[in-house]
Amino acid sequence: MPYLVLILVAIIFIILVSCIRIVPQAHSYVIERLGAYITTWNTGFHLKAPIIDRVARNVNLKEQVVDFPPQPVITKDNVTMQIDTVIFFQITDPRLYCYGVENPIMAIENLTATTLRNVIGDLELDETLTSRETINTKMRAALDVATDPWGIKINRVELKNIIPPAAIKEAMEKQMKAERERREAILIAEGQKKSTILIAEGKKQSAILDAEADKQAAILKAEAEKQSQILQAEGQAEAIRQVQQATADGLTMLKDADPNSAVLQLKSLDAFAKAADGQATKIIIPSDIQGIAGLTKSIAEVAAKN
């Protein structure tokens, strides 16, 4: 009998322990009673009724990422390409998530494929390659509306990769290569143009500097010639002044000496000789040399009076 009591107590304890549930953070438990939905447990401590209650599903409320394989799509200009997408979603209603659709992930994958075909079908190839942001926005809006009855919110949709056909890819590579070569040629031409402009500007500046230097040199040369002429004129004036001074001094000395008629005659002859200066072959001497002496004496007297 005591053993039966112990076994009964143990069974009751195990049942009570099994009825205790602790829901972790960012999770929810969907609870069913006798097969019917009864409630949703959020984070914390909970007790369920034994036997008749059960945890139908543990729902993860964190944002989840699903990477779907590439899907074949056809553009408006009839180009078939492969596009794979990445979906970021979050469960907002655990009850709808459990009872809204049989397989939510598969449903989202198929819905993504059909929505992607609809969006890409309205775009041409070039628009598809350059309008990723527009495609992402349209797909997110369409998927968010479609998955709302399932208790799922689509946060983001990203086109992971766009794979065009091999022929289109090769043509695009050739086009990009030609574009790069064109840009390179433009850059080279612009560089040569700038170099030519800089060289011309340098020559212009050099010519201006050379002209300025020639101008300064001409000014300095003119100043030098001016100073030279001034010095020459001053020298000639000084020479004339000295000659005049010497003449005046000679007259003064002649006056002071009080020369007689013979000396005056000799001086007159000497003056005639200097006038010839060895160049004349003939010297005409007046017959009346006494008159010349008298003239010289008169000049001396005039000098004395002055």
pLDDT at 150: 92
Judgement on whether residues 216 and 291 belong to the same structural domain of the protein: no
Judgement on whether residues 155 and 111 belong to the same structural domain of the protein: yes
pLDDT at 241 exceeding the cut of 50:
yes
Overall average pLDDT of the 54-60 stretch = 91
- More confident call, 245 vs 189: 189
CB count in 10 Å sphere of residue 176? 10
**Among 92, 91, 95, 79, CA closest to 29:** 95
- Indicate the angle between helix axes 166-257 and 289-305, nearest 10 degrees: 100
Average pLDDT, the chain: 81
Among 164, 194, 212, identify where a domain stops.
164
Kindly state the percentage of the chain with pLDDT values over 70: 81
Of the ranges 15-24, 242-251, 271-280, the best mean pLDDT one = 15-24
Q: Report the sign of the C-alpha dihedral through residues 65, 66, 69, 72, in that order.
A: negative
Judgement on whether residues 150 and 184 belong to the same structural domain of the protein: no
d(CA 82, CA 166): 11
Judgement on whether residues 20 and 34 belong to the same structural domain of the protein: yes
Kindly state the percentage of the chain with pLDDT values over 90: 23
CB count in 10 Å sphere of residue 293? 21
- CATH label of the domain that carries residue 112: 3.30.479.30
- The three-state secondary structure class of 62 is coil
Judgement on whether residues 129 and 75 belong to the same structural domain of the protein: yes
Q: Which segments within the chain are labelled E, that is strand?
A: 20-23, 27-33, 36-41, 44-47, 53-60, 64-67, 71-74, 80-91, 152-163
Judgement on whether residues 45 and 74 belong to the same structural domain of the protein: no
pLDDT at 208 exceeding the cut of 60:
yes
pLDDT at 302: 46
Judgement on whether residues 266 and 288 belong to the same structural domain of the protein: yes
Among 252, 267, 297, identify where a domain stops.
252
Measuring CA to CA, how many Å separate 198 from each of 70, 195, 212? Answer: 55, 5, 21
Q: How confident is the model at residue 17 (pLDDT cuts 50, 70, 90)?
A: confident
Two structure tokens written together for 157: 């949709």
CA 161 to chain centre: 33
Judgement on whether residues 120 and 78 belong to the same structural domain of the protein: yes
Judgement on whether residues 178 and 133 belong to the same structural domain of the protein: no
Judgement on whether residues 80 and 151 belong to the same structural domain of the protein: yes
- Pick the range with the lowest mean pLDDT from 22-31, 78-87, 248-257: 248-257
Measuring CA to CA, how many Å separate 240 from each of 71, 149, 235, 291? Answer: 119, 129, 9, 31
Contact 120, 73 (CB under 8 A): yes
- More confident call, 96 vs 126: 96
* Structure confidence by residue, pLDDT tens digits, 247-301: 777 667 766 665 555 555 556 556 555 555 555 555 555 555 455 555 555 555 5
Among 121, 136, 164, identify where a domain stops.
164
- pTM for the full model? 0.54
Number of residues that make up the chain: 306
Range(s) of the domain holding residue 102: 64-164
Judgement on whether residues 236 and 271 belong to the same structural domain of the protein: no
Query: Any residues with CB less than 8 A from the CB of 155 and at least 6 apart, and which?
Result: 63, 88, 89, 90, 140
Structural domain count, the chain? 4
CA dihedral 221, 222, 226, 227 (to 10 degrees): -30
Of the ranges 32-41, 168-177, 260-269, the best mean pLDDT one = 32-41
Judgement on whether residues 54 and 72 belong to the same structural domain of the protein: no
Overall average pLDDT of the 132-156 stretch = 91
